[in-house]
Amino acid sequence: MNNASEHLHQRVIHHLSTIYDGIVEPDDMESLAQAAIDTMRVNDVETSPEAFINHWDEQDVILITYGDSLISDAKKPLQELHGFMQEHCKGYINGVHVLPFFPYSSDDGFAVIDYSSVNESLGDWCDIEALSSDYRVMADLVINHCSSRSAWFQNFIKCDGPGHDFFYTASPDDDLSQVVRPRTSPLLRETETLKGTQHVWCTFSHDQVDLDFRNTKVLLTFISIIRQYLDSGVNLFRLDAVAFLWKEVGSTSINLPKTHEVIRLLRCLIEHAQPDAVVITETNIPNQQNLSYFGNANEAHCIYNFSLPPLLLNTLVTGNCRYLKQWLMSMPPARNGTAYFNFIASHDGIGLRPAEGLLNDEEINQLVNTMSSFGGCVSWRNAENGQRKPYEINIALYDALQGTVNGPDRWGEDRFMCAHAIMFALEGIPGLYIHSLLATGNDYEKLENTQHNRSINRHRWQIEDLTSQLARSHTQHAKVLARMKHLLALRIKQKAFHPNATQFTLQLGGQLFGIWRQSLDREQSVFSVSNVSDQEQVLNLADINLIDLQSWVDLISNSTIDVSAGTMILAPYQTVWITNR
């Protein structure tokens, strides 16, 4: 065994000893570590991964989409997605997060029946591999739970076969009062098995039965799943709902230390198998808890910037960036080897837990009421004190930004583009939801059919209808797509927009939101300034310290900045990216 292999072996033993202390006998740790290494096929690594290496740059933009967001009678949905990206995204977007593409029973893919198969209605593994030949592919590792219709759970009911001992059970008499979860349904599912009644832990729904990582076979099974995904071209791993992975009766069962240790172990194995692979944690929780998933640059490479969507939405509907600035100034820069994953819309709603402590109750209620007036829905959770609190807002972002707290107005499209111009400029890797790229509105028909609030923002486009809409330049879909591609074409060429480039928040008042970015080589600066209000605003150029001896240009409008004028006027929701090239 060479030095790198020996070092990996010792690291794996350390992680496993921390996770399974008191569960696995110390004498068995060696064989368990070897089983994990064998399963990931990293027996003969020659070098250890370098620490603090950025596996991304300013050209990284990820499209977020379901595998069947685009459908037709002519091709499988994954093939339609690939064709759409080749036609409309190539040269602008270099990665794609295909939301769960496995056989499932509910929650639009997040109740996985079989982790090893592609849902045949979408395509097959060859389609995933084809996507990966042109784009970086992110896949969900739905690691906290699986479907109650899975073979594993059916074997649990039969008390025999693979998976029969994979599930976390508790007693209704246990003290579960501290458990934190994002749903109001009962935590325990009563299930009749051949060995009697069992009460299965269900963090999310009774069709999503929680896995028990105290069983080492569960861990080894997921290591095997990761290996299969790597072999199929996946190199970005989104650990879904991972904050809830480890449960302990009498605790909150969220963010527990052993959850963090499992992530460290998986990262260690993944980066030894493929050094440029990236682990992203999906932890829709308050901001400071979310930041903890960076660990000491040894857990997630990237964390979802969950506080950004509600704070940016609040900024643009109130016309004041106070809370957005306060939050941004409190955020630590991501050290090399880690990055924020920025998004402002996704398949889920706009989470409100990440706004707790950042927006007060009055601000949150105003935001909820405004979104409700724009046709949105609200999902609720039970708080620790038994009080019902809003958990997330369900609405298409294009409709969410149709107006302000005063109601709809004529600035909807500009406000929508302003939101994306801000996101594209921020420190981190941008994730762009396909329905934002296409300016898709609320899908009330799907909402009515499913009776699930999240369906409002999960439209399926018939490719013929979409093609027709995009062929007419005056439609909102064509206009937004063209404007989005213009911004992206600029963004990916600016070294100052590297995900780890320096960022400072500018103090320009409540109606102008500004940041300064400087490239890692310090050769380029970009001042991103956005008017977040529905009135013209005056930008004093002295406030952003433009040096008159240099030539400055606004990238977005491709116009030269006359520094000697002292000021410039920003139209409602206009963004400027001022740079010295």
Q: For strands 278-281 and 302-304, give the pairing.
A: parallel
For residue 173, say whether it is annotated as part of any ligand binding site. Answer: no
Is 518 in contact with 502 (CB distance < 8 Å)?
yes
Lookup: tokens for 372: 């409700």
For residue 181, say whether it is annotated as part of any ligand binding site. Answer: no
Is 33 in contact with 464 (CB distance < 8 Å)?
no
Q: What percentage of the chain exceeds 70 in pLDDT? A: 99
Q: Does residue 389 register a pLDDT over 90? A: no
Lookup: tokens for 546: 């433009």
Q: Does residue 184 register a pLDDT over 90? A: no
The sign of the torsion formed by the CA atoms of 557, 426, 357, 322 equals: negative
pLDDT band, very low/low/confident/very high, at 439 (cuts 50, 70, 90): very high
Q: Does residue 1 register a pLDDT over 80? A: no
Is 422 in contact with 428 (CB distance < 8 Å)?
no
pLDDT at 381: 82
For residue 28, say whether it is annotated as part of any ligand binding site. Answer: no
Tell me yes or no: is domain 502-579 CATH 2.60.120.330. Answer: no
Lookup: tokens for 292: 């903890």
pLDDT at 383: 74
Is 142 in contact with 110 (CB distance < 8 Å)?
yes
For residue 348, say whether it is annotated as part of any ligand binding site. Answer: yes
pLDDT band, very low/low/confident/very high, at 216 (cuts 50, 70, 90): very high
Mean pLDDT of 299-326: 97
pLDDT at 2: 85
For residue 347, say whether it is annotated as part of any ligand binding site. Answer: yes
The kind and range of the H/E element at 56 are: none
Q: Does residue 286 register a pLDDT over 90? A: no
Residues belonging to the active site: 240
For residue 521, say whether it is annotated as part of any ligand binding site. Answer: no
pLDDT at 550: 77
Question: Alpha-carbon distance 57 to 39, whole Å?
Answer: 31
* All structural domains of the chain with their residue ranges: 502-579
**Residue 484, C-beta contacts closer than 8 angstroms, at least 6 positions apart:** 417, 420, 432, 436, 437
β-strand partners of 160: none
For residue 313, say whether it is annotated as part of any ligand binding site. Answer: no
Q: What is the mean pLDDT of the chain?
A: 96
Q: Kindly tell me the burial class for residue 439, based on how many C-beta atoms sit within 10 Å of its own C-beta (0-12, 13-18, 19 or more).
A: buried
| pTM confidence score | 0.96
Q: Mind listing the pLDDT tens digit for each residue in 13-66?
A: 999 999 999 999 999 999 999 999 999 999 988 888 988 999 999 999 999 999
For residue 60, say whether it is annotated as part of any ligand binding site. Answer: no
Burial track 470-494 (b if 16+ CB lie within 10 A, e otherwise): beeeeebbbbbbebbbebbebbbeb
Distances (CA, A) of 539 to 110, 145, 566, 572: 46, 51, 9, 12
Q: Mind listing the pLDDT tens digit for each residue in 227-281?
A: 999 999 999 999 999 999 999 999 999 999 999 999 999 999 999 999 999 999 9
Question: Alpha-carbon distance 163 to 159, whole Å?
Answer: 9
Q: Mind listing the pLDDT tens digit for each residue in 134-154?
A: 999 999 999 999 999 999 999
Question: Alpha-carbon distance 180 to 212, whole Å?
Answer: 17
Question: Alpha-carbon distance 345 to 431, whole Å?
Answer: 8
pLDDT at 421: 98
Q: Tokens 């693979």 identify what position?
A: 162
